[in-house]
Structure 1
Amino acid sequence: MSSAKTSVSTVSVFTDFKEITKMGLSLSVVFSSLAGYLLGAETINLITLLLLAIGGYFMVGASNAYNQIIERDLDALMDRTKNRPIPAGRMSVNTAFIIATTFTILGLITLYVINPKTAMWGAISIFLYTSVYTPLKTKTALSVFVGALPGAIPFMLGWVAARNAFGIEPGTLFAIQFFWQFPHFWSIGWFLHEDYKKGGFFMLPTGKPDKGTAVQIIMYSIWTTLVSILPVFGFTGDLKLSIVGAIIVLLLGFVMIFYAFRLFKERSIKAAKQLMLSSVFYITMLQIIYVADKFLS
């Protein structure tokens, strides 16, 4: 009986750990960083790749834990977040803080071993996310613009880890992920609008799921697609994209733009969810295509 209880508690502790660090989101961010590294690496170093994956997970996990500490009272008000470890009472603030600070320290050390610039960008990311973006979410819809800055760093971070330098190439990777976040997060803000309202969050540019928000989503979907094909024109340094690669990326962009227009037309929760899924598909496939294009061209 006691062993059954122990196994249940072990499972629940692991589940809470996954939730406090948002494991799914953290792994997707690590994926972005690794893609950026593969694009920037002249020769692939598996140790660096491993350090980037571990350090990246620590940094994102820390950011998510800090976020849940700061927003614990608001999380308790929303259906989407009320069962998170802290508001549900399964984890104390002190425990979450120990996890967050430990992850921060280990993350910075791990990224510093790669090179100091990678650690610096990791530190900037965690600071912007926890100290600027998180407090702004209940003050202004501009928080999404601020949040897009740390959110755009991982793809770029991988290149910096590979080259120990910042230039046009990581800048382009940053721009792609920066613009992409607006259709992505605004679509989430759209279908979770009523829930976000309970927590007092301002997530949509006009403050509500209306035609104005839908128009901005369309514009940012178009800009994301245009920025994504810039490397085909040859002025992004060592970041290159073949014509075939650019055509595939363009077609993926058209799919996202199609769903953005559908949202404008229908203005429904279903259309917003479809756009969100298409945006996730877009950024994942773009990173795979960029890497495949480099090694196959």
Structure 2
Amino acid sequence: MKTAVSSAKSTTWSLAFSDFKEITKARLAISVVFSSLAGYLLAPVSLDAFSLLLLAFGGYCMVGASNAFNQVIEKDLDALMNRTKNRPIPSGRMSVNKALWIAVLMTLLGVIALYYLNPKTAMFGAISIFLYTSVYTPLKTKTPLAVFVGAFPGAIPFMLGWVAATNDFGIEPGTLFMIQFFWQFPHFWALGWMLDEDYKKGGFKMLPTGKKDTGTALQIIMYTIWMMVISIVPVFGITGDLTLSIPAAIVVFLIGAVMLFFAFRLYEKRDNPAARKLMLASVSYITLMQIVYVIDKFI
């Protein structure tokens, strides 16, 4: 009997943890935390383990809160789409009130943790939540410009780490912001291309032309090129304390060239498999680029 009760409790906790991960989009949140930590490591300061832990915790809370608020706002639309109908709220596994409590609590914990680092970091974290939930989310059903708006909170994490380390916003975190800002467009348009039919069920307007056409593919190519250019700007010594060696710049450029290749393939093929390959290439790019930047600083 005790074994059965214990097993039931274990299953309940397991399901609750699984729903928590889904309401906060744990995989996305962890990738955002990775970007923030990379930005911190690039800053010209001595490393502090406690600050890194605060940044990781606060960053996860801010992203998790944004995603929880987003799923509360879009609960009815999520129920219409195949990719989201099994999320905790539309599936009925989690109440709206519980999701709101999670979102509010994570917002408070995130702001407090980031404020402990410094006020500027907390401010940018709060701005990120506001833009994502109050501007980007409502715009998704109204205009493709939602992706442009969403690129702002999406680009904050890389620069947030630098600000957390230095308590300063200048050309260095501004450059990190721009790299991730331009990266957002090919990444999300590739994702939007793959999921266009499903997005339309929820009324979302994610592609710049509204269609999976050459116009969208050309804009993906254009933004990929801009991303590549901005990513190697630090090699020219014009971005303050943010620097990049020539070998590292070549590696970053080549990684970007791979992503550009898949962008051209999408222009050529204009199908979902090509969009998926570009999306995966974009995920690889942002991760590898940040790793190259960090390694280059320490060698």
Q: 1:209 aligns with which of 209, 212, 218?
A: 212
Deviations 1:99-121 (A, max 9, x none): 00000000000000000000000
1-side partners of 2:164 and 2:45: how far apart?
A: 12
Please, which of 148, 153, 156 is the counterpart of residue 151 of structure 2? 148
SS of the aligned residue for 2:60 comes to: helix
Match of 1:37 among 6, 30, 40: 40
Give 1:201's aligned amino acid: F
Matched, 1:165 2:174: no
Three-state SS of the structure 1 residue aligned to 2:70 is: helix
The answer on 1:264 being equivalent to 2:267 is yes
Match among 63, 69, 79 for residue 66 of structure 1: 69
Instruction: Report matched runs for 1:84-233 at 5 Å.
Output: 84-233=87-236
Distance apart, 1:42 and its partner CA = 1.6
Question: Which residue in 2 is equivalent to 1:17?
Answer: 20
Contact 2:44 / 2:241 at 8 angstroms: preserved in 1?
A: no
- Give unmatched runs, 5+ long, in structure 1: none
| Structure 1 residue 123 displacement after superposition | 0.6
Q: 1:240 aligns with which of 240, 243, 247?
A: 243
Cα deviation for residue 41 of structure 1 reads: 4.0
Rounded Cα–Cα distance in structure 1 between residues aligned with 2:5 and 2:174: 55
Give the Cα–Cα distance (whole angstroms) in 1 for the partners of residues 198 and 298 of structure 2: 44
Gaps of 5+ in 2: none
Query: For 2:215, what is the secondary structure of its paired residue?
Result: helix
Per the TM alignment, residue 3 of structure 1 is displaced from its structure 2 partner at its CA by 2.4
Structure 1 residue 138, shift from structure 2 partner: 0.3
Amino acid at match of 1:149: F
Q: 1:47 aligns with which of 47, 50, 56?
A: 50
Query: Aligned AA for 1:150?
Result: P
Shift of 1:208: 0.9
The amino acid of 2:212's aligned partner reads P
Q: Which amino acid aligns with 2:57?
A: I
* CA positional deviation for 1:4: 2.2
Count of aligned pairs between the two proteins:
296
**Is the 8 Å Cα contact of residues 40 and 165 (structure 2) preserved in structure 1?**
yes
Contact persistence 2:37–2:52 (CA under 8 A)? yes
Q: TM-score, normalised by structure 2?
A: 0.98
Which residue identity does 2:279 align to in structure 1?
A: M
Question: For residue 7 of structure 1, what is the aligned residue in structure 2?
Answer: 10
Alpha-carbon shift at residue 36 of structure 1 (Å): 0.2
Q: Secondary structure at the match of 1:237?
A: coil
Asked if 1 retains the 8 angstrom alpha-carbon contact of 2:214 and 2:267, the reply is yes
Give the secondary structure class of the aligned counterpart of 2:174. helix
Identity %: 70
